A and B are shown apart, each in its own frame.
Chain A
Amino acid sequence: MAILSKKDQRLILDPLADDNPITIQVLGICSALAITAQLKASIVMAIAVLFVMGVGNVVISLMRNIIPSKIRIIVQLIVVATLVIIVDQVLKAYAYSLSKELSVFVGLIITNCIIMGRFEAFALANGPARSFLDGIGNALGYGVILIIIGFFRELLGSGTLLGFKVLGDPIEKTGLYSIGYENNGFMLLSPMALIVVGLIIWVQRSRNKALIEEN
C-alpha cells in the first residue's frame, strides 16, 4: 500500500469497515438478501459488482467533463447497463448454470443503489485513478459482507461450503449429523439473510461506538 497516499488508502479501506455500503450506508440490501443462499453465488456476485463498479467509476470519471448535466443520470444508467449486459453475456457463455442461478439478479446490478450512488457522489467529481479506487473499495466492502452472509447461510442451511459437505452427510448420518445435528432450512430463505445482516451490523457497531447514530 506504500504506493498509495494516505487519502487514497482510505478510499479502499473505509468501505471495508467503517463506511461499509451494506452495513453502514445500508445500500444494496436487496441483492445481499436474494443471492446469498450459497457461498458460490455470493462470490460470483461480488466479482461481478467489482468489475462493474471499478470499470464504471473510471468510465464515468473520464467522461465527467463532457457529460451534459441535463442527462447525466441517463448516461450513468447506460454505462451501468452496458457493463451489466457484458457481465451477463460472459456468464451465459462461460458459466451457464451459474448465470441461470443468478438469473434476474445480474440484471438487478443495474439498479444496485451502491453503483449509481458512487457514480453520482464520487466519479463525477474525481479523477479516474481515485474513482477506480473508490469503486474497488466499495465493491469489496459490498463483496465482503455478501461472502460473510453466504458463508453462514450455506454452512448452517445446507451443511456445505462451496458444495463440499463439511459437516458430514445428512442422509448417511456421518460427521456432525451422527450426533443428531440437523440443517436449518430456514437459513436458506431470504428473511434469515436480513437477520444475518442485522447481526453483522450489531457486532460492528458494538465494537465501534462511533458508528452508532444519535436519535
Chain B
Amino acid sequence: MAKTDGNVYTVIFATIMVIAVGGILSALAVGLKPAISENERFEKQQNILYAMGVNENVEGDNAVNFIPTDKVEAEFKNYIKESYIIQNGKLDNVADSIAFKIDMKKQSKLSKSERKLPLFIGERDGGKYYVIPMYGKGLWDAIWGYVALDKDLVVQGVYFDHKGETPGLGANIKERYFMDDFTGEQIMSKTQYAGISVAKGNNDPKNDDKTDNEVDALAGATITGDGVSAMIKSTLKLYIPHIKELNKKS
C-alpha cells in the first residue's frame, strides 16, 4: 500500500493544504481590498447620479451609460449638495461621506429604532432632487436601488440592481426600458401615499398615465417585480414626512 493511502497521511495533507490556501487567499484579500473598495465607492456614486438623471445615456439606445469612473468622484461632489441621516424619526444633517458609507444591507437587519436611513440631496438645472437608497428582496437574492424624487414627490429617475435574479427575466430590472418607465410617476394617489406598483395586466402598458402609481411589469418576473414594488413602497414611506419637512425649510 502506498504511503499516500493512509488515513493519518490524508488528514495531515488536508490540514496543511487548507491552512496554506487560507493563508494565500487572506493575504490576497487584504492586499487588494483598497482597490476593490474604491471601485465599489465609484459604483455607488455612479448609481446615485444615475438615479438623478446624471448619466451618459443616449436617446434611442437602450444601454445604461454611467458617468465614467475617472470623472464620477468630481461629478458627485458637484451634484450632491447635502446629506442627511434619518434615525428614530429624527432628521440629521451630516457630512456627505458619513451618509455615503451607510450600508443598506446591514441597516435592513437592524431594529427600527437603530436603523439609519441615508438621504442625499442633489441639485441639477436648478431643481432639487431627493435621492433615496433602497434595499429589498427579489426572487433569489437581494435587490437594491436608488430613487430620485423632486419636491412634489414625483419620481425623477431610478436605478435598480440585483445580486442574482434570473438572467433574461428578473435581471431585466436593471434594463433601461424598465427603469425609464418610473420617471415622472407619482408616488401619491391624490393626497394618500401609494408608492409605485409593478403591475401586470395593467390598463396602461405604454405608461402614458403617470398618476396611476403603476408601471408595466416584466414578463416572467412576477416575484422580482413584486419585490421592487414592496421595496419602493416600504422605503419611501419612511422618507416622505422628512422630505416634506425639508421642503418647508427651503
B168, A189: Cβ atoms closer than 8 Å? yes
Q: Does B60 contact A (CB under 8 A)?
A: yes
In chain B, positions 1-38 with a C-beta closer than 8 Å to chain A are 2, 4-6, 9-10, 13-14, 17-18, 21, 24-25, 28-29, 32, 35-36
Q: Give complex CA distance A140, B69 in Å.
A: 32
Residues of B within 8 A of A (CB): 2, 4-6, 9-10, 13-14, 17-18, 21, 24-25, 28-29, 32, 35-36, 39-40, 42-43, 58-61, 69, 164, 168
Q: Mark A88-109, 1 if CB is under 8 A from B, else 0.
A: 0110111011001000100000
Among A78, A82, A171, A189, the residue within 8 A (CB) of B58 is A171
Q: Which of A9-17, A43-51, A68-76 contacts B (4 or more CB under 8 A)?
A: A68-76
B39, A68: Cβ atoms closer than 8 Å? no
Chain B contact residues, majority secondary structure: helix
Residues of A within 8 A of B (CB): 65-71, 74-75, 78, 82, 85-86, 89-90, 92-94, 96-97, 100, 104, 171, 189
B28, A71: Cβ atoms closer than 8 Å? no
B25 contacts across to A, CB distance below 8 A: 82, 85-86
Q: Give complex CA distance A97, B40 in Å.
A: 10
A98 to B: closest C-beta gap in Å: 11
Q: Give complex CA distance A183, B6 in Å.
A: 62
A66 contacts across to B, CB distance below 8 A: 4, 13
Q: Give complex CA distance A14, B191 in Å.
A: 72
A119 to B: closest C-beta gap in Å: 15
15 A-B pairs with C-beta separation under 8 A = A66-B13, A68-B9, A69-B4, A70-B5, A71-B10, A75-B13, A75-B17, A78-B18, A82-B24, A85-B28, A92-B35, A92-B36, A94-B35, A96-B42, A171-B59
